[in-house]
Structure 1
């Protein structure tokens, strides 16, 4: 039978596509995407100290960041190490394919200074000569209304 032709009862057949199921599936996929994206963000929660002026990083290349959390955990991206002595081989492996031997350290403001120095010494022990510290600018107070 041809599209749009009449059948034996004289009724005409419709040749339109029903898009309602397609829209339903798309909405379900959109909701699933919106729920799962925040879960995919990985990182280490670090409360950075505030400084008056923070230099901007060159965003052309992704820097290697060593994180030191309030609990004393050390992480290089998703890789966590137990103590600073285990940091050296992990750093050497992470920097093997990079052109610049540059590392940034972000330490929680509540971490004891001695722990930060231990991690810095381990980074230097891995042969890194360029070590930067990450901080955040202070929150500016809201302007007063007169």
Structure 2
């Protein structure tokens, strides 16, 4: 009677699992910003990947859709976020603002994101150590 030997399949599955565990943290890409430190609670909605808008020290804007290294205008960000929010209105929107950027620029960005349909906009900070 012929039997199927599943041991090689288990070995392959474990190797693939290790590969995915090693590469998953590397998939988080974005623009390098110096985040401010604050004691804050984590965001509640962790079901979907958030839409992240980054603003660096020079005030340049980046979006985590498409080419993340491309500098975008405020109007372009508003349009693209509006399209995403119409498709999935519960998608969380986060702002990664560099600590050196002017407060007014972050407020202007947050107002544009709310105009685009984001029900709430969160700010990303680092935990102080």
Q: TM-score range by the shorter chain?
A: 0.5 to 0.7
TM-score by length of 1: 0.59
Structure with the bigger RCO (C-alpha within 8 Å, sep 6+) is 2
4+ aligned runs moved over 4 Å, structure 1: none
CA drift of 1:50 comes to 0.4
State the TM-score, normalized to the length of structure 2: 0.66
Cα distance in structure 1, aligned partners of 2:72 and 2:107: 16
Q: Of Structure 1 and Structure 2, which has the larger fraction of its residues in helix?
A: 2
Shift of 1:60: 3.0
Structure 1 unaligned residues grouped into runs of 5+:
1-36, 140-146
Aligned Cα root-mean-square deviation (Å): 2.5
Equivalences, count: 104
Instruction: Give the Å deviation of 1:68.
Output: 0.8
The residue correspondences of 1:1-146 to structure 2 (distance < 5 A) are 42-77=29-64, 78-79=67-68, 80-139=70-129
CA contact (8 A) 1:63 1:104 kept: yes
Question: Which is greater in Rg?
Answer: 1
